[in-house]
Structure 1
Amino acid sequence: MTATARANRRTRRPPRFYFSLRSPYSWLAYRDLLGRYARTAAAVEWVPFFEPDELSRTLLTEAGGAFPYTPMSPEKHRYILQDVRRLAAERGLEFSWPVDRDPVWEVPHLGYLVAARHGRGPEYIALAARARWERGQDICDRSVIAGFGAELGLDPGELATAADDPGRRAEGVRVLLEIQRDGVFGVPFFVDHYDKYWGIDRLPAFVAALAAKDPSLAELPDSRRDSGPLAAGPERSVDDGHAGGCG
Protein backbone atom coordinates (compact mmCIF):
# COMPACT_ATOMS: atom_id res chain seq x y z
CA MET A 1 0.00 0.00 0.00
CA THR A 2 1.38 3.40 -0.97
CA ALA A 3 1.80 6.24 1.51
CA THR A 4 -1.02 8.10 -0.23
CA ALA A 5 -3.33 5.11 0.02
CA ARG A 6 -2.49 4.72 3.71
CA ALA A 7 -3.20 8.40 4.31
CA ASN A 8 -6.52 8.16 2.48
CA ARG A 9 -7.45 5.10 4.51
CA ARG A 10 -6.64 6.92 7.76
CA THR A 11 -8.73 9.94 6.79
CA ARG A 12 -11.70 8.03 5.45
CA ARG A 13 -14.87 9.42 6.99
CA PRO A 14 -16.99 7.25 9.25
CA PRO A 15 -20.37 6.00 8.02
CA ARG A 16 -23.03 8.67 8.13
CA PHE A 17 -26.72 8.90 8.99
CA TYR A 18 -28.45 11.90 7.45
CA PHE A 19 -31.59 12.78 9.36
CA SER A 20 -34.11 15.61 9.51
CA LEU A 21 -35.95 16.72 12.62
CA ARG A 22 -38.79 17.62 10.27
CA SER A 23 -39.17 14.16 8.75
CA PRO A 24 -41.43 11.53 10.36
CA TYR A 25 -39.46 8.82 8.59
CA SER A 26 -36.21 10.11 10.06
CA TRP A 27 -37.93 9.95 13.45
CA LEU A 28 -38.82 6.29 12.90
CA ALA A 29 -35.32 5.48 11.59
CA TYR A 30 -33.83 7.16 14.63
CA ARG A 31 -35.95 5.02 16.93
CA ASP A 32 -35.05 1.87 15.02
CA LEU A 33 -31.35 2.71 15.17
CA LEU A 34 -31.32 3.19 18.91
CA GLY A 35 -33.83 0.45 19.66
CA ARG A 36 -32.49 -2.26 17.34
CA TYR A 37 -29.03 -1.29 16.15
CA ALA A 38 -27.36 0.38 19.11
CA ARG A 39 -23.81 -0.45 18.02
CA THR A 40 -24.38 1.04 14.60
CA ALA A 41 -26.02 4.10 16.15
CA ALA A 42 -22.90 4.68 18.23
CA ALA A 43 -20.53 4.18 15.30
CA VAL A 44 -22.11 6.43 12.68
CA GLU A 45 -21.76 10.17 12.26
CA TRP A 46 -25.15 11.87 12.64
CA VAL A 47 -25.59 14.69 10.12
CA PRO A 48 -28.66 16.98 10.03
CA PHE A 49 -30.48 17.54 6.74
CA PHE A 50 -32.55 20.72 6.62
CA GLU A 51 -34.12 22.97 4.03
CA PRO A 52 -32.22 26.28 3.93
CA ASP A 53 -34.01 29.56 4.47
CA GLU A 54 -33.26 32.56 2.26
CA LEU A 55 -30.07 33.51 4.12
CA SER A 56 -28.65 29.98 4.18
CA ARG A 57 -29.57 29.50 0.53
CA THR A 58 -27.70 32.68 -0.38
CA LEU A 59 -24.65 31.60 1.62
CA LEU A 60 -24.84 28.16 0.05
CA THR A 61 -24.95 29.60 -3.45
CA GLU A 62 -21.99 31.84 -2.68
CA ALA A 63 -20.10 28.74 -1.55
CA GLY A 64 -20.84 27.08 -4.88
CA GLY A 65 -23.49 24.71 -3.55
CA ALA A 66 -27.14 23.98 -4.23
CA PHE A 67 -29.99 22.25 -2.44
CA PRO A 68 -32.37 19.74 -4.05
CA TYR A 69 -36.01 20.70 -3.97
CA THR A 70 -39.06 18.67 -4.90
CA PRO A 71 -42.48 20.17 -4.15
CA MET A 72 -44.99 17.83 -2.54
CA SER A 73 -48.40 17.28 -4.05
CA PRO A 74 -51.55 17.22 -1.86
CA GLU A 75 -52.02 13.55 -2.81
CA LYS A 76 -48.54 12.71 -1.56
CA HIS A 77 -49.12 14.59 1.67
CA ARG A 78 -52.31 12.62 2.34
CA TYR A 79 -50.48 9.37 1.60
CA ILE A 80 -47.70 10.26 4.04
CA LEU A 81 -50.18 10.92 6.80
CA GLN A 82 -51.68 7.48 6.24
CA ASP A 83 -48.36 5.71 5.85
CA VAL A 84 -46.74 7.18 8.94
CA ARG A 85 -49.76 6.22 11.04
CA ARG A 86 -49.35 2.63 9.85
CA LEU A 87 -45.62 2.59 10.55
CA ALA A 88 -46.07 4.14 13.98
CA ALA A 89 -48.80 1.64 14.86
CA GLU A 90 -46.49 -1.24 13.88
CA ARG A 91 -44.03 0.10 16.44
CA GLY A 92 -46.65 0.60 19.11
CA LEU A 93 -46.25 4.37 18.87
CA GLU A 94 -48.78 7.14 19.11
CA PHE A 95 -47.96 10.52 17.68
CA SER A 96 -49.39 13.97 17.10
CA TRP A 97 -48.93 15.37 13.62
CA PRO A 98 -47.44 18.85 14.06
CA VAL A 99 -48.52 21.95 12.18
CA ASP A 100 -45.60 24.00 10.86
CA ARG A 101 -46.36 27.70 10.55
CA ASP A 102 -43.69 29.67 8.66
CA PRO A 103 -40.96 27.25 9.71
CA VAL A 104 -37.28 28.18 9.76
CA TRP A 105 -35.53 24.83 9.93
CA GLU A 106 -32.21 26.36 10.91
CA VAL A 107 -33.71 27.00 14.37
CA PRO A 108 -33.89 23.32 15.45
CA HIS A 109 -31.09 21.98 13.25
CA LEU A 110 -28.45 24.57 14.09
CA GLY A 111 -29.56 24.14 17.69
CA TYR A 112 -28.68 20.48 17.25
CA LEU A 113 -25.18 21.44 16.06
CA VAL A 114 -24.73 23.46 19.25
CA ALA A 115 -25.88 20.54 21.39
CA ALA A 116 -23.66 18.11 19.47
CA ARG A 117 -20.66 20.37 20.01
CA HIS A 118 -21.33 20.09 23.75
CA GLY A 119 -21.63 16.31 23.50
CA ARG A 120 -25.42 16.29 23.93
CA GLY A 121 -26.51 15.63 20.34
CA PRO A 122 -28.42 12.36 20.94
CA GLU A 123 -30.25 13.82 23.94
CA TYR A 124 -31.20 16.90 21.91
CA ILE A 125 -32.65 14.72 19.14
CA ALA A 126 -34.66 12.77 21.71
CA LEU A 127 -36.14 15.98 23.10
CA ALA A 128 -36.88 17.38 19.63
CA ALA A 129 -38.51 14.13 18.54
CA ARG A 130 -40.66 14.02 21.66
CA ALA A 131 -41.68 17.65 21.25
CA ARG A 132 -42.54 17.34 17.58
CA TRP A 133 -44.01 13.87 17.21
CA GLU A 134 -45.46 13.12 20.63
CA ARG A 135 -46.57 16.58 21.73
CA GLY A 136 -47.20 18.16 18.33
CA GLN A 137 -45.08 21.19 19.22
CA ASP A 138 -43.52 23.59 16.74
CA ILE A 139 -39.77 22.96 17.00
CA CYS A 140 -39.10 26.04 14.88
CA ASP A 141 -40.41 28.05 17.82
CA ARG A 142 -37.33 29.35 19.64
CA SER A 143 -39.08 29.08 22.99
CA VAL A 144 -39.52 25.33 22.42
CA ILE A 145 -35.80 24.94 21.64
CA ALA A 146 -34.86 27.10 24.62
CA GLY A 147 -36.90 24.75 26.79
CA PHE A 148 -34.45 21.95 25.98
CA GLY A 149 -31.66 23.83 27.73
CA ALA A 150 -32.57 22.94 31.28
CA GLU A 151 -32.92 19.24 30.49
CA LEU A 152 -29.61 19.19 28.62
CA GLY A 153 -27.70 21.34 31.07
CA LEU A 154 -26.97 23.82 28.27
CA ASP A 155 -27.52 27.53 27.84
CA PRO A 156 -31.12 27.93 26.56
CA GLY A 157 -30.21 31.13 24.74
CA GLU A 158 -27.32 29.51 22.89
CA LEU A 159 -29.62 26.75 21.66
CA ALA A 160 -32.52 29.01 20.75
CA THR A 161 -30.45 31.64 18.92
CA ALA A 162 -28.11 29.34 17.02
CA ALA A 163 -29.69 30.46 13.74
CA ASP A 164 -28.65 34.05 14.56
CA ASP A 165 -25.00 33.15 15.14
CA PRO A 166 -22.84 33.71 12.02
CA GLY A 167 -20.53 30.90 13.11
CA ARG A 168 -23.38 28.41 13.39
CA ARG A 169 -24.76 29.62 10.04
CA ALA A 170 -21.38 28.93 8.46
CA GLU A 171 -21.33 25.49 10.06
CA GLY A 172 -24.81 24.87 8.68
CA VAL A 173 -23.65 25.79 5.17
CA ARG A 174 -20.78 23.31 5.53
CA VAL A 175 -23.34 20.66 6.39
CA LEU A 176 -25.42 21.59 3.33
CA LEU A 177 -22.31 21.25 1.18
CA GLU A 178 -21.70 17.79 2.67
CA ILE A 179 -25.27 16.88 1.75
CA GLN A 180 -24.56 17.82 -1.85
CA ARG A 181 -21.18 16.07 -1.94
CA ASP A 182 -22.70 12.84 -0.60
CA GLY A 183 -25.53 13.03 -3.13
CA VAL A 184 -28.21 13.06 -0.45
CA PHE A 185 -31.63 13.69 -1.99
CA GLY A 186 -33.89 12.55 0.85
CA VAL A 187 -33.91 11.25 4.39
CA PRO A 188 -33.28 9.00 6.16
CA PHE A 189 -30.10 8.48 4.13
CA PHE A 190 -27.16 6.29 5.08
CA VAL A 191 -23.68 6.54 3.56
CA ASP A 192 -20.62 4.34 3.92
CA HIS A 193 -17.82 5.53 1.63
CA TYR A 194 -19.31 5.07 -1.87
CA ASP A 195 -22.25 2.96 -0.73
CA LYS A 196 -25.57 4.76 -0.20
CA TYR A 197 -28.86 3.61 1.26
CA TRP A 198 -32.06 5.67 1.12
CA GLY A 199 -35.13 5.01 3.21
CA ILE A 200 -35.95 3.25 6.42
CA ASP A 201 -36.30 -0.08 4.60
CA ARG A 202 -32.58 0.12 3.68
CA LEU A 203 -31.44 0.45 7.28
CA PRO A 204 -31.01 -3.32 7.85
CA ALA A 205 -28.87 -3.59 4.69
CA PHE A 206 -26.73 -0.66 5.84
CA VAL A 207 -26.28 -2.25 9.27
CA ALA A 208 -25.38 -5.61 7.73
CA ALA A 209 -22.85 -4.02 5.36
CA LEU A 210 -21.11 -2.25 8.22
CA ALA A 211 -21.00 -5.44 10.31
CA ALA A 212 -19.51 -7.35 7.37
CA LYS A 213 -16.63 -4.88 7.26
CA ASP A 214 -16.28 -4.56 11.03
CA PRO A 215 -17.52 -7.57 13.05
CA SER A 216 -17.42 -5.49 16.24
CA LEU A 217 -20.51 -3.69 14.92
CA ALA A 218 -22.54 -6.90 14.71
CA GLU A 219 -25.57 -6.52 16.92
CA LEU A 220 -26.02 -8.92 19.82
CA PRO A 221 -29.00 -11.31 19.59
CA ASP A 222 -30.85 -9.45 22.34
CA SER A 223 -30.18 -6.01 20.84
CA ARG A 224 -33.42 -6.24 18.85
CA ARG A 225 -35.51 -6.19 22.00
CA ASP A 226 -37.81 -3.37 22.97
CA SER A 227 -35.57 -0.80 24.64
CA GLY A 228 -38.22 1.10 26.54
CA PRO A 229 -38.98 4.48 24.97
CA LEU A 230 -37.24 3.44 21.76
CA ALA A 231 -39.46 0.51 20.85
CA ALA A 232 -38.79 -0.56 17.29
CA GLY A 233 -40.52 -2.48 14.55
CA PRO A 234 -40.34 -3.48 10.89
CA GLU A 235 -39.14 -1.13 8.17
CA ARG A 236 -40.73 0.10 4.97
CA SER A 237 -39.65 2.21 2.02
CA VAL A 238 -40.53 5.86 2.50
CA ASP A 239 -40.48 9.33 0.99
CA ASP A 240 -41.76 12.29 2.99
CA GLY A 241 -41.91 14.56 -0.03
CA HIS A 242 -40.89 17.79 1.62
CA ALA A 243 -37.99 19.76 0.13
CA GLY A 244 -35.42 17.44 -1.33
CA GLY A 245 -37.90 14.61 -1.70
CA CYS A 246 -37.17 13.68 1.86
CA GLY A 247 -38.42 10.69 3.74
Structure 2
Amino acid sequence: MSAAVRGGRRRGRVPRFYFSLRSPYSWLAYRDLIDRYPRTAEAVEWVPFFEPDELSRKLLAEAGGAFPYTPMSAEKHRYILQDVRRLAAGRGLEFTWPVDREPVWEVPHLGYLAAARHGRGPEFVALAARARWELGLDICDRTVIAGFAGELGLGQEELACAADDSSLRAEGVRVLLEIQRDGVFGVPFFVDHYDKYWGVDRLPDFVAAIEERTAADPAGVPGVSGTPLPPSVSSVDDGHAGGCG
Protein backbone atom coordinates (compact mmCIF):
# COMPACT_ATOMS: atom_id res chain seq x y z
CA MET A 1 0.00 0.00 0.00
CA SER A 2 1.37 3.41 -0.91
CA ALA A 3 2.23 6.18 1.52
CA ALA A 4 -0.83 8.03 0.25
CA VAL A 5 -3.16 5.48 1.79
CA ARG A 6 -1.07 3.72 4.42
CA GLY A 7 -3.18 2.81 7.36
CA GLY A 8 -2.66 2.45 11.07
CA ARG A 9 -4.43 4.38 13.77
CA ARG A 10 -5.13 7.92 12.73
CA ARG A 11 -3.43 9.24 15.89
CA GLY A 12 -0.10 7.97 14.61
CA ARG A 13 -0.41 9.15 11.04
CA VAL A 14 2.19 11.28 9.38
CA PRO A 15 1.12 14.91 8.67
CA ARG A 16 -0.52 15.11 5.24
CA PHE A 17 -0.43 17.38 2.22
CA TYR A 18 -3.54 17.03 0.06
CA PHE A 19 -2.88 18.33 -3.43
CA SER A 20 -4.54 18.39 -6.82
CA LEU A 21 -2.68 18.44 -10.11
CA ARG A 22 -5.63 20.44 -11.44
CA SER A 23 -5.49 23.29 -8.92
CA PRO A 24 -3.35 26.39 -9.41
CA TYR A 25 -3.31 26.96 -5.64
CA SER A 26 -2.02 23.42 -5.15
CA TRP A 27 0.71 24.22 -7.65
CA LEU A 28 1.70 27.33 -5.68
CA ALA A 29 1.65 25.39 -2.40
CA TYR A 30 3.77 22.67 -4.00
CA ARG A 31 6.32 25.25 -5.11
CA ASP A 32 6.39 26.86 -1.66
CA LEU A 33 6.76 23.46 -0.02
CA ILE A 34 9.73 22.32 -2.10
CA ASP A 35 11.38 25.75 -2.36
CA ARG A 36 10.92 26.97 1.22
CA TYR A 37 10.33 23.88 3.35
CA PRO A 38 12.17 20.98 1.68
CA ARG A 39 12.48 18.90 4.85
CA THR A 40 8.77 19.15 5.48
CA ALA A 41 8.17 18.17 1.86
CA GLU A 42 10.15 14.99 2.46
CA ALA A 43 8.46 14.21 5.78
CA VAL A 44 4.75 14.61 4.99
CA GLU A 45 2.46 12.25 3.10
CA TRP A 46 1.47 13.54 -0.33
CA VAL A 47 -2.16 12.60 -0.97
CA PRO A 48 -3.90 13.33 -4.29
CA PHE A 49 -7.29 15.06 -4.34
CA PHE A 50 -9.16 14.54 -7.60
CA GLU A 51 -12.68 14.85 -8.93
CA PRO A 52 -13.90 11.30 -9.62
CA ASP A 53 -15.24 10.22 -12.99
CA GLU A 54 -18.40 8.12 -13.34
CA LEU A 55 -16.64 4.82 -12.53
CA SER A 56 -14.85 6.19 -9.49
CA ARG A 57 -18.08 7.79 -8.23
CA LYS A 58 -19.81 4.43 -8.54
CA LEU A 59 -17.03 2.61 -6.68
CA LEU A 60 -16.92 5.35 -4.06
CA ALA A 61 -20.67 5.15 -3.47
CA GLU A 62 -20.44 1.37 -3.14
CA ALA A 63 -17.79 1.92 -0.46
CA GLY A 64 -20.14 4.26 1.40
CA GLY A 65 -18.37 7.48 0.44
CA ALA A 66 -19.13 10.73 -1.37
CA PHE A 67 -16.95 13.40 -2.91
CA PRO A 68 -17.06 16.87 -1.25
CA TYR A 69 -16.86 19.10 -4.29
CA THR A 70 -19.05 21.90 -5.64
CA PRO A 71 -18.39 23.36 -9.11
CA MET A 72 -17.24 26.96 -8.96
CA SER A 73 -19.11 29.90 -10.41
CA ALA A 74 -17.89 31.87 -13.41
CA GLU A 75 -17.24 34.83 -11.09
CA LYS A 76 -14.99 32.73 -8.86
CA HIS A 77 -13.13 31.38 -11.86
CA ARG A 78 -12.42 34.90 -13.14
CA TYR A 79 -11.23 35.92 -9.69
CA ILE A 80 -8.88 32.93 -9.49
CA LEU A 81 -7.34 33.89 -12.83
CA GLN A 82 -6.40 37.28 -11.38
CA ASP A 83 -5.43 35.99 -7.96
CA VAL A 84 -3.12 33.23 -9.17
CA ARG A 85 -1.38 35.62 -11.53
CA ARG A 86 -0.68 37.98 -8.60
CA LEU A 87 0.52 35.20 -6.31
CA ALA A 88 2.73 33.68 -8.99
CA ALA A 89 4.27 37.06 -9.82
CA GLY A 90 5.02 37.60 -6.14
CA ARG A 91 6.99 34.35 -6.17
CA GLY A 92 8.81 35.18 -9.38
CA LEU A 93 6.98 32.39 -11.22
CA GLU A 94 5.77 32.51 -14.80
CA PHE A 95 3.04 30.19 -15.93
CA THR A 96 0.74 29.34 -18.80
CA TRP A 97 -2.94 28.88 -18.00
CA PRO A 98 -3.96 25.47 -19.37
CA VAL A 99 -7.20 24.67 -21.15
CA ASP A 100 -8.97 21.50 -19.99
CA ARG A 101 -11.10 19.73 -22.57
CA GLU A 102 -13.25 16.91 -21.21
CA PRO A 103 -10.69 16.04 -18.53
CA VAL A 104 -10.55 12.71 -16.74
CA TRP A 105 -8.59 13.47 -13.58
CA GLU A 106 -7.93 9.81 -12.81
CA VAL A 107 -5.41 9.82 -15.68
CA PRO A 108 -2.82 12.04 -13.92
CA HIS A 109 -3.78 11.29 -10.30
CA LEU A 110 -3.83 7.51 -10.60
CA GLY A 111 -0.66 7.95 -12.64
CA TYR A 112 0.74 9.63 -9.52
CA LEU A 113 -0.30 6.64 -7.41
CA ALA A 114 1.43 4.34 -9.89
CA ALA A 115 4.63 6.39 -9.59
CA ALA A 116 4.29 6.55 -5.80
CA ARG A 117 4.34 2.75 -5.65
CA HIS A 118 7.90 2.98 -6.91
CA GLY A 119 8.84 5.83 -4.58
CA ARG A 120 8.66 8.37 -7.42
CA GLY A 121 5.56 10.29 -6.40
CA PRO A 122 7.11 13.73 -5.79
CA GLU A 123 9.09 13.45 -9.03
CA PHE A 124 5.86 12.67 -10.90
CA VAL A 125 4.25 15.76 -9.37
CA ALA A 126 7.21 17.87 -10.48
CA LEU A 127 6.85 16.68 -14.07
CA ALA A 128 3.06 17.09 -14.07
CA ALA A 129 3.32 20.59 -12.59
CA ARG A 130 5.83 21.63 -15.22
CA ALA A 131 3.74 20.14 -18.03
CA ARG A 132 0.53 21.82 -16.87
CA TRP A 133 1.61 25.17 -15.48
CA GLU A 134 4.75 25.95 -17.48
CA LEU A 135 4.08 24.26 -20.81
CA GLY A 136 0.27 24.47 -20.81
CA LEU A 137 -0.09 20.79 -21.71
CA ASP A 138 -3.17 18.64 -21.10
CA ILE A 139 -2.12 16.30 -18.30
CA CYS A 140 -5.31 14.27 -18.82
CA ASP A 141 -3.84 13.27 -22.18
CA ARG A 142 -2.33 9.82 -21.73
CA THR A 143 0.46 10.57 -24.18
CA VAL A 144 1.56 13.46 -21.94
CA ILE A 145 1.64 11.15 -18.91
CA ALA A 146 3.48 8.49 -20.89
CA GLY A 147 6.11 11.11 -21.64
CA PHE A 148 7.08 11.20 -17.95
CA ALA A 149 8.13 7.55 -17.94
CA GLY A 150 11.66 8.01 -19.21
CA GLU A 151 12.62 10.59 -16.59
CA LEU A 152 11.06 8.49 -13.84
CA GLY A 153 12.58 5.22 -15.00
CA LEU A 154 9.12 3.62 -15.20
CA GLY A 155 7.07 1.99 -17.93
CA GLN A 156 4.99 4.21 -20.20
CA GLU A 157 1.98 1.90 -20.10
CA GLU A 158 2.00 1.66 -16.31
CA LEU A 159 1.74 5.44 -16.01
CA ALA A 160 -0.45 6.26 -19.00
CA CYS A 161 -2.94 3.46 -18.36
CA ALA A 162 -3.14 3.77 -14.58
CA ALA A 163 -6.82 4.71 -14.83
CA ASP A 164 -7.47 1.28 -16.40
CA ASP A 165 -5.74 -0.62 -13.60
CA SER A 166 -8.34 -2.07 -11.22
CA SER A 167 -5.93 -2.11 -8.26
CA LEU A 168 -5.09 1.58 -8.79
CA ARG A 169 -8.80 2.36 -9.12
CA ALA A 170 -9.34 0.66 -5.77
CA GLU A 171 -6.44 2.59 -4.27
CA GLY A 172 -7.92 5.80 -5.68
CA VAL A 173 -11.21 5.03 -3.95
CA ARG A 174 -9.36 4.51 -0.66
CA VAL A 175 -7.76 7.91 -1.16
CA LEU A 176 -11.18 9.48 -1.82
CA LEU A 177 -12.46 7.91 1.40
CA GLU A 178 -9.49 9.40 3.27
CA ILE A 179 -10.39 12.79 1.80
CA GLN A 180 -13.87 12.45 3.24
CA ARG A 181 -12.64 11.17 6.62
CA ASP A 182 -10.17 14.04 6.96
CA GLY A 183 -12.86 16.59 6.05
CA VAL A 184 -10.96 17.90 3.04
CA PHE A 185 -13.17 20.30 1.07
CA GLY A 186 -10.61 21.99 -1.17
CA VAL A 187 -6.92 22.13 -1.94
CA PRO A 188 -4.24 22.64 -0.93
CA PHE A 189 -5.14 21.15 2.43
CA PHE A 190 -2.78 20.21 5.24
CA VAL A 191 -3.61 17.90 8.14
CA ASP A 192 -1.58 17.38 11.30
CA HIS A 193 -3.43 15.03 13.64
CA TYR A 194 -6.62 16.99 14.48
CA ASP A 195 -5.38 20.31 13.11
CA LYS A 196 -6.34 21.33 9.57
CA TYR A 197 -5.06 24.11 7.36
CA TRP A 198 -6.69 25.12 4.08
CA GLY A 199 -4.99 27.25 1.48
CA VAL A 200 -1.53 28.11 0.25
CA ASP A 201 -1.26 30.94 2.76
CA ARG A 202 -1.74 28.45 5.64
CA LEU A 203 1.33 26.41 4.73
CA PRO A 204 3.65 28.44 7.04
CA ASP A 205 1.28 27.79 9.95
CA PHE A 206 1.27 24.06 9.18
CA VAL A 207 5.07 23.96 9.06
CA ALA A 208 5.37 26.02 12.25
CA ALA A 209 3.03 23.67 14.11
CA ILE A 210 5.10 20.66 13.06
CA GLU A 211 8.34 22.42 14.02
CA GLU A 212 6.94 23.33 17.44
CA ARG A 213 5.73 19.83 18.19
CA THR A 214 8.92 18.23 16.88
CA ALA A 215 11.05 20.50 19.08
CA ALA A 216 8.94 19.63 22.12
CA ASP A 217 8.69 15.89 21.41
CA PRO A 218 10.72 14.56 18.45
CA ALA A 219 9.17 11.11 18.84
CA GLY A 220 5.64 12.50 18.84
CA VAL A 221 5.45 13.48 15.18
CA PRO A 222 5.55 10.32 13.04
CA GLY A 223 7.76 10.58 9.99
CA VAL A 224 9.25 13.95 10.96
CA SER A 225 12.89 14.09 12.02
CA GLY A 226 13.95 15.83 15.20
CA THR A 227 16.43 17.84 13.13
CA PRO A 228 15.25 21.47 12.97
CA LEU A 229 13.73 22.52 9.66
CA PRO A 230 15.16 25.43 7.67
CA PRO A 231 14.02 28.93 8.72
CA SER A 232 10.55 29.71 7.44
CA VAL A 233 10.10 32.21 4.65
CA SER A 234 6.98 34.28 5.19
CA SER A 235 4.41 34.13 2.40
CA VAL A 236 2.09 36.87 1.33
CA ASP A 237 -1.19 36.81 3.23
CA ASP A 238 -3.66 38.49 0.93
CA GLY A 239 -6.71 37.57 2.94
CA HIS A 240 -7.78 34.80 0.56
CA ALA A 241 -7.81 31.21 1.71
CA GLY A 242 -6.12 30.13 -1.49
CA GLY A 243 -8.21 27.01 -1.87
CA CYS A 244 -9.44 25.97 -5.27
CA GLY A 245 -12.69 24.16 -5.01
Q: TM-score, normalised by structure 2?
A: 0.88
Q: Which residue of 2 aligns with 1:202?
A: 202
Q: Secondary structure of 1:131's partner? A: helix
Alignment partners' CA distance in 1, 2:228 and 2:49? 27
Q: Counterparts in 2 of 1:77-116, with a 5 A limit? A: 77-116=77-116
| Contact 2:132–2:139 under 8 Å retained in 1 | yes
Q: Which residue of 1 aligns with 2:4?
A: none
Could you report, residue by residue, the CA deviation over 1:175-213 in whole angstroms, capped at 9, with x for unpaired residues? 000000000000000001111000111111110100111
| Contact 1:52–1:106 under 8 Å retained in 2 | yes
Q: Secondary structure of 2:85's partner? A: helix
Q: Which residue of 1 aligns with 2:45?
A: 45
Alignment partners' CA distance in 2, 1:181 and 1:233? 29
Q: Counterparts in 2 of 1:85-164, with a 5 A limit? A: 85-164=85-164
The one-letter amino acid of 2:212's match is A
* CA apart distance, 1:103: 0.2
Alignment partners' CA distance in 1, 2:227 and 2:210? 7
The one-letter amino acid of 2:162's match is A
2:236 to 223, 234, 237: 234
Alignment partners' CA distance in 2, 1:217 and 1:71? 42
Alignment partners' CA distance in 1, 2:98 and 2:131? 9
* CA apart distance, 1:240: 5.1
* CA apart distance, 1:235: 5.1
| Residues 240, 81 of structure 1: alpha-carbon distance in 2 compared, 3 angstrom cutoff | farther
Q: Which residue of 2 aligns with 1:26?
A: 26
Alignment partners' CA distance in 2, 1:135 and 1:240? 23
Could you report, residue by residue, the CA deviation over 1:62-109 in whole angstroms, capped at 9, with x for unpaired residues? 000000121211111110000000000001111000000000000000
Identity of aligned residues (%): 76
Alignment partners' CA distance in 1, 2:50 and 2:227? 28
The one-letter amino acid of 2:120's match is R
Q: Which residue of 2 aligns with 1:12?
A: 12
Q: Which residue of 2 aligns with 1:218?
A: 228
Structure 1 gap segments, 5+ residues each: 1-6, 225-231
Q: Which residue of 1 aligns with 2:220?
A: none
* Relative contact order, higher structure (CA 8 A, sep 6+): 1
Could you report, residue by residue, the CA deviation over 1:131-173 in whole angstroms, capped at 9, with x for unpaired residues? 0000000000000000000111100110000000100000000
Structure 2 gap segments, 5+ residues each: 1-7, 216-225
Alignment partners' CA distance in 2, 1:217 and 1:208? 14
The one-letter amino acid of 2:236's match is P
Could you report, residue by residue, the CA deviation over 1:27-52 in whole angstroms, capped at 9, with x for unpaired residues? 00001011111111111000000000
Alignment partners' CA distance in 2, 1:142 and 1:177? 25
The one-letter amino acid of 2:178's match is E
| Residues 8, 68 of structure 1: alpha-carbon distance in 2 compared, 3 angstrom cutoff | closer
Q: TM-score, normalised by structure 1?
A: 0.88
RMSD, matched Cα: 1.8
* CA apart distance, 1:220: 2.5
Q: Which residue of 2 aligns with 1:189?
A: 189
Alignment partners' CA distance in 2, 1:8 and 1:135? 41
| Residues 210, 72 of structure 1: alpha-carbon distance in 2 compared, 3 angstrom cutoff | same
Alignment partners' CA distance in 1, 2:200 and 2:100? 23
Alignment partners' CA distance in 1, 2:50 and 2:99? 17
Q: Secondary structure of 2:66's partner? A: coil
Q: Which aligned runs of 4 or more in structure 1 are off by greater than 6 angstroms? A: none
